A and B are shown apart, each in its own frame.
Chain A
């Protein structure tokens, strides 16, 4: 589904991505782990075309490196950024509507699905985007992207700073997403949910992939965990 080969990326002169190879198969849940600042967010931004990518990025066999962000989204890639920005002048419901690519779009997800999964959002449907809680914002950013009916969804640190109960909710949502046949590229820092739900795990360090394997492999490899994940 997604195939990244020798991807390089720069912020100005600093060479952030130094040759990334990464695959996400159809229906697969893949986690990209690593410490702060190693370039995980930059990797998915490069896939979205928000950071100019050098190298090859193929989605469903088509080269997408160099395309415009909105065209990449329209091919079926969803992106949930880490900062959970909600449009502040719009209601929760309008934020969801904006996630749809066309006015009369029909796909895997409806607004009703979202409200069923997150009754909090239904209760807040008419509240403005800037008055809801941090947890609600996290759910809303994920739901907003799902409304665009992507085939692959890339989610950047959805559990960061959330209470354990909310982390559990995020885990449940990821499971539902996978059930409906989407591929997931999950960026995380901690192993909390990644070990539980991933099919495969990549670990990044200083702009390069330093480990690739199954959750089982990672569990058995103390050295890798010590060197690249634990602080």
Chain B
């Protein structure tokens, strides 16, 4: 029980982090129809910028400045890169973002080197806030959760309660009509791209000091974000939220369970008494297969329901 609550908390935290990344990615996809392979690279930039800025002015200003800088870079990438490539079609856009991911990774290596940089949790937050069943919970993790939840509330408020949000929602479905009503859709695209990148950057600022800030962090997290938006439904923010929490909780709880299929089969009264490869398969524990679970889900989802849980159109 104790371990369950603990990993549930971690799962929600991890899930909210995934949401910060996937919300931007899915919004960008919904509007422009382009899968941004470089999205996780903006997450990485957030972490590195926060590290660099913290060195001069400390963590708190960095928490604000780093995502803003990442957002501005994102907006510039959209305005002067993606928008020009757009006329050559989606494949060209995809390749562009693919190339961009590597450009960012190489640039990061050139500037900060190949080894992880020492980006740490701010001292004031580095203490145990509470312990539950003997397990200690750091104040910083609780703080992360708070920031993530407030960002989520702010994002929903922006999209559903403001005029800009209406224009964004409109541009998600019928960009031509929104333009013919006199709204500057390319500008909206640029702002949404920038906002999405800023959210990814914020996730990087918050998580870089826990997960480690190194040049491989984008490639590590990138694929799982794609899993989230495919399962949630490309373009759907609600879907991204549900899928983020689901994947987050699934991954953190699965790794903490040491149950195997065989154990489960024994419980329901099935005895597997043959040797060979089958034996090996049923002996795998949940913890062992947990790394492939999300990708298995991704492939299954594409076969069974290509539009994802909440999506309105197929991939």
Contact = CB atoms under 8 A, between A and B. Distances in A.
Contact of B169 (A81, A89, A144): A89
Interface stretch (B44-52, B105-113, B177-185, B218-226): B177-185
B266 interface: no
A69 B180 CA distance: 6
Interface string B133-158: 00000000000000000000000000
B184 A70 contact: yes
Interface in A57-83: 68-70, 73-74, 79, 81
Chain B CB count within 10 A is highest, among A48, A50, A87, A94, for A87
Contacts of A148: 181-182
Interface residue range, chain B: 10 to 19
B104 interface: no
B182 A101 contact: yes
B64 interface: no
A144 B181 contact: yes
A145 B183 CA distance: 12
B173 interface: yes
B308 to A, nearest CB: 16
Given A87-B169, A97-B163, A70 B182 contact: yes
Interface residues of A, number: 23
A98 interface: yes
A87 B160 CA distance: 13
Nearest to A85: B174
Contacts of B174: 85, 87
B173 A73 contact: no
Contacts of A55: none
> Looking at A69, A90, A103, A144, which has the most chain B CB atoms within 10 Å of its CB?
A69
Nearest to B176: A50
A73 B169 contact: no
A88 interface: yes
A199 to B, nearest CB: 25
A103 B176 CA distance: 20
Interface string A95-112: 001110101000000000
Contacts of B181: 73, 98-99, 101, 144-145, 148
A108 to B, nearest CB: 15
B166 interface: yes
Contacts, number: 59
A79 B163 CA distance: 21
- Interface core residue of A70, A90, A97, A99 (most chain B CB under 10 Å): A70
A50 B180 contact: yes
B173 A81 contact: no
Contacts of B166: 90, 94, 97-98
B170 A81 contact: no
Contacts of B184: 68, 70
Contacts of A48: 180
B168 to A, nearest CB: 11
Contact of B173 (A69, A70, A87): A87
Nearest to B174: A85
A81 B180 contact: yes
A87 B170 contact: yes
A103 B164 CA distance: 10
B167 interface: yes
A154 to B, nearest CB: 10
A81 B176 CA distance: 10
B33 to A, nearest CB: 17
Contacts of A94: 166
Interface in B181-197: 181-186
Contacts of A50: 176, 180
Interface in A143-160: 144-145, 148
B170 A70 contact: no
Contacts of A103: 163
B179 A70 contact: yes
A98 B174 CA distance: 12
Nearest to B164: A103
Nearest to B167: A98
Interface of B: 163, 166-167, 169-170, 172-174, 176-186
19 contacts: A48-B180, A50-B180, A68-B184, A69-B179, A69-B180, A69-B185, A70-B184, A70-B185, A79-B180, A87-B174, A89-B169, A90-B166, A94-B166, A97-B163, A97-B166, A98-B178, A98-B181, A145-B180, A145-B181
Given A74-B182, A87-B173, 20 more contacts: A50-B176, A68-B179, A68-B184, A69-B176, A69-B179, A69-B185, A70-B180, A73-B180, A73-B181, A79-B180, A85-B173, A89-B173, A90-B170, A97-B163, A98-B178, A98-B181, A99-B181, A101-B181, A145-B180, A148-B182
- In order of increasing CB-CB distance, the 6 nearest A-B pairs are A73-B182, A69-B179, A101-B182, A79-B180, A74-B182, A70-B179
